[in-house]
């Protein structure tokens, strides 16, 4: 016969959180010195995707990329992004700062209101965690826009 205390007990899982390295790409520049440098790396990583891919690029204290992750794959023209998903790999990889970016399959680099709002939320969340958001890039096939250069960061 079960006791009253075990009948109402809640099993708590013991876990371990890990960053899993799937593969790597070679970045010959070593450092991100400008939005254009980040664009080149993100463009190579995203390729010619037909849906929005939101990526986070994690950097060390010398602005060297340490990891890149697709945080969300959206529809043809939208991608719902939450700061916890963006900052998860940054926390696990001991990142100093991040750059984020997403492609616009429409090939129009103009930021949407949602793009601007996501940038602001990521900036604030990063500030709380001590991870600087350096830029948010909107990537098109032959061009990009830096939200920092446009004054949103």
pLDDT tens over the chain, length 153 residues? 555 556 788 899 998 888 888 888 888 888 999 999 999 999 999 988 888 899 999 999 999 999 999 999 986 566 578 899 999 999 999 999 999 999 998 888 899 999 999 999 999 999 999 999 999 999 998 899 999 999 988
Question: Domains in the chain and their CATH numbers?
Answer: 4-146 (3.40.140.10)
Strand partners, 145: 138
Other CB atoms within a 10 A radius of the CB of residue 153 amount to 17
Q: What is the pLDDT of residue 6?
A: 64
In this structure, the strands spanning 132-139 and 144-146 are antiparallel
């Amino acid at each position: 016969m079960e006791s009253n205390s075990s009948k109402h007990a809640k099993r708590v899982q013991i876990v371990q959180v890990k960053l899993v390295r799937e593969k790597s790409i070679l970045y010959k520049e070593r450092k991100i010195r400008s939005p254009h440098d980040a664009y080149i790396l993100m463009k190579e990583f995203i390729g010619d995707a037909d849906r929005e891919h939101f990526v986070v690029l994690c950097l060390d204290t010398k602005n060297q990329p340490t990891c890149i992750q697709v945080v969300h794959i959206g529809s043809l023209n939208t991608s719902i992004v939450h700061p916890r998903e963006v900052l998860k790999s940054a926390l696990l990889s001991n990142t100093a700062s991040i750059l984020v970016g997403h492609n616009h399959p429409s090939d129009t680099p103009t930021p949407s209101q949602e793009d601007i709002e996501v940038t602001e939320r990521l900036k604030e969340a990063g500030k709380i965690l001590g991870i600087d958001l350096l830029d948010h890039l909107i990537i098109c096939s032959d061009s990009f826009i830096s939200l920092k250069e446009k004054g949103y960061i």
